[in-house]
Amino acid sequence: MIQLKKTPSHTAIHSWVNQVGYYKLTMPKEMADDWIYLVDNSLRIENRIVVLVLGIRSSTLKKGYYPSFKDLDCIEMRLIKKNWEIEGVLEDAIGKTGVPLSICSDNGPDVKPSLRRIKSKHSKIHLTSDIMHKVGNMLKKRLVDDKEWNRFVRKINKSKNTLKQSELSFLCPPNFRGIQRFLNCKDVLDYANSMLAFLKEMKKDHPNRDEILKKIGWILKEVKNIAIFTELFELAHISKEIVRQLHIEHEGWKVAEQLLADHASSEDGKLFAKGVVDFLKIQCELLPLGVLLLGCSEIIESAFSKLKLLSRECGISGYTKSIIGLAACFGASDLASITKAFEEVHPKEIAAWEKIYIGETIQKKRKKAFKCKKKIDLGAKLGGYIECYSMAA
C-alpha cells in the first residue's frame, strides 16, 4: 500500500483527477447500436462553449431507476466557439460508439440545428427532448403574461423586503425572481401554502398577529390563485418524475395520461396535462415495443455544476485543463480503473490535449495584459521596526 508522507497539495490532487479524467475520456468505448446520448453545453465568461456528450446503453436502463454518474460514460467533451461545431463533436462521439439509438437534449436553439443535421445523416436516431425543459417552457408560456401570477410575484417580493430585517424574518419567503426553473417556483408555492395554513391557524391572541396580517395577510385573499398555480406546478413535477423513473417507451404516455388526469381538477390543469400527454405521445409512439430511452437530462446539468466546483477549488476563472477532470466523475471509480489510469496516462498527454483543445487561457492572457509589479516584502520591513522597538523597550 502506498503511504503518503504528507498531505498532497490541491495542485497534486487536481493533476490526479485530470489524469483519471483523460483516461476515461480517451479509453475505447464499446461499439453498439443501443447507445443513448445526453448532450448539452455550457457558456462562461469566455467566447468559448464546453460541449459534453454522455452515454449509456439502452439495455442497461431499468424502470424505477434514474442513471447516476457511475452508470454513464463520458463519450466526448470539447471546447468550441460556434454552436454549429456541436455537429462535429457528435460525429466524433459516433466514431467512438457507432450510431446511437437516441440523443436526448434540452432541444434549445443552440443544439437544435446540429441535431437536425445529425438526424438527416443518420435517420434511425431518435431525438428526445428533456421533460424538465419542456414542462418549464409550458409553465412559462402559461404564466409569463398572466396578470394574477405577476401580481403574486410582486407581492411575494414586497413581503420579503418588509419581513427580512424584522423580528418576523422567520416568515420570509424564499428567494424568488418570477418564472425561472419550475422547481424554484414550486418552492415559493410550497411556502405560500404553508403560510396560508399558518395564518388560518394563528390564534387571535398571538402577540404579533396585527403586524403579521399587515405584512403578509394579503395571501389570505389569494387562495384561489395559489390553488391554480400549485396545481400547475404539481402537474409539472409529476410529469418530470414519470419520465425520470419510467423513461420513454412505446406506451409510456398512457401512464402519464392516467396519473395526470388523477391530479388535474381545474380547467387550467386539464389543459396543461393534455399538453404534456400530447408531447409524450409523440416521443413514445415512434419507438418499437420493449425499447427504453432517456427523456430527462438533469444529470448533465449536475455535471456542469461539478465542473464549476472543480474550477473554484483551484481558483480558476474561464476554461482550463480542469474541464478534463469532469470526465473522472463518470463510469467506474474502482481501484483497478484508477490504477490503470495512472499507469497508462502520462502528464505530457494531458499537456498535449490542453494545447490542442484549450490553448491560451484567460490567466495567461491576463498576465500578459497586466504585468504585475514586484511585491514589497512588508513582512521583512515591519519585522525590522518591531525588532528596533523591542530593543528600545
What is the distance between the alpha carbons of residues 338 and 227, in angstroms, rounded to a whole number?
52
Cα of first residue to Cα of last residue in the chain, in angstroms, is 56
Q: Which of 262, 287, 312 is the last residue of a domain?
A: 287
What is the distance between the alpha carbons of residues 188 and 173, in angstroms, rounded to a whole number?
7
What is the distance between the alpha carbons of residues 373 and 392, in angstroms, rounded to a whole number?
35
Looking at the structure, tell me whether residues 279 and 159 fall in a common domain. Answer: yes
pLDDT at 1: 46
Task: Decide: 94 and 100 in contact? Cβ < 8 Å.
Answer: yes
Looking at the structure, tell me whether residues 245 and 276 fall in a common domain. Answer: yes
Instruction: Indicate the pTM of the whole model.
Output: 0.84
pLDDT at 355: 82
Residues forming a β-bridge with 74 = 54
Looking at the structure, tell me whether residues 331 and 271 fall in a common domain. Answer: no
pLDDT at 384: 64
Asked whether residue 383 is assigned to any structural domain, the reply reads: no
Looking at the structure, tell me whether residues 15 and 73 fall in a common domain. Answer: yes
Looking at the structure, tell me whether residues 174 and 316 fall in a common domain. Answer: no
Looking at the structure, tell me whether residues 165 and 84 fall in a common domain. Answer: no
Looking at the structure, tell me whether residues 74 and 138 fall in a common domain. Answer: no
Looking at the structure, tell me whether residues 120 and 154 fall in a common domain. Answer: no
Looking at the structure, tell me whether residues 193 and 236 fall in a common domain. Answer: yes
Looking at the structure, tell me whether residues 160 and 249 fall in a common domain. Answer: yes
Domain count, the chain: 2
Asked whether residue 371 is assigned to any structural domain, the reply reads: no
Farthest-apart Cα atoms in the chain, separation:
92
Q: Which three cell numbers stand for residue 212?
A: 403579521
Q: Which of 255, 287, 319 is the last residue of a domain?
A: 287
pLDDT at 10: 62
Asked whether residue 84 is assigned to any structural domain, the reply reads: yes
pLDDT at 181: 58
Looking at the structure, tell me whether residues 217 and 70 fall in a common domain. Answer: no
Angle formed by the axes of helices 209-216 and 147-163, nearest 10°: 140
3-state secondary structure of 55: strand
pLDDT at 376: 65
Asked whether residue 157 is assigned to any structural domain, the reply reads: yes
Task: Decide: 105 and 40 in contact? Cβ < 8 Å.
Answer: yes
Element (H, E) at 150: helix 147-163
Looking at the structure, tell me whether residues 135 and 278 fall in a common domain. Answer: yes
pLDDT at 389: 63
Element (H, E) at 39: strand 35-43
Asked whether residue 83 is assigned to any structural domain, the reply reads: yes
pLDDT at 358: 78
Task: Decide: 248 and 287 in contact? Cβ < 8 Å.
Answer: yes
What range defines the domain where residue 341 resides? 10-130+297-364
What is the distance between the alpha carbons of residues 75 and 93, in angstroms, rounded to a whole number?
6
Closest CA to 350 of 314, 322, 317, 330: 322
CATH code of the domain covering residue 117: 3.30.420.10
What is the distance between the alpha carbons of residues 162 and 147, in angstroms, rounded to a whole number?
23
Asked whether residue 381 is assigned to any structural domain, the reply reads: no
Distances (CA, A) of 298 to 131, 170, 391: 9, 32, 67
Angle formed by the axes of helices 335-344 and 10-26, nearest 10°: 90
Could you tell me where the DSSP H helices lie in 129-251? 131-143, 147-163, 182-201, 209-216, 223-246
Q: pLDDT tens digits, the chain, 393 residues: what are they? A: 445 555 566 677 778 888 888 899 989 999 999 999 999 988 665 678 889 999 999 999 999 999 999 999 999 998 888 899 999 999 999 999 999 999 999 998 999 999 999 999 999 999 999 999 999 999 989 998 999 999 998 999 899 999 988 899 999 988 776 555 555 788 889 999 999 999 999 998 989 999 999 999 999 999 999 999 999 999 999 999 999 999 999 999 999 999 999 999 999 999 999 999 999 999 999 898 889 999 999 899 888 877 777 666 555 566 777 788 888 889 888 888 888 888 888 888 888 888 888 777 777 777 777 775 666 666 666 666 666 666 655
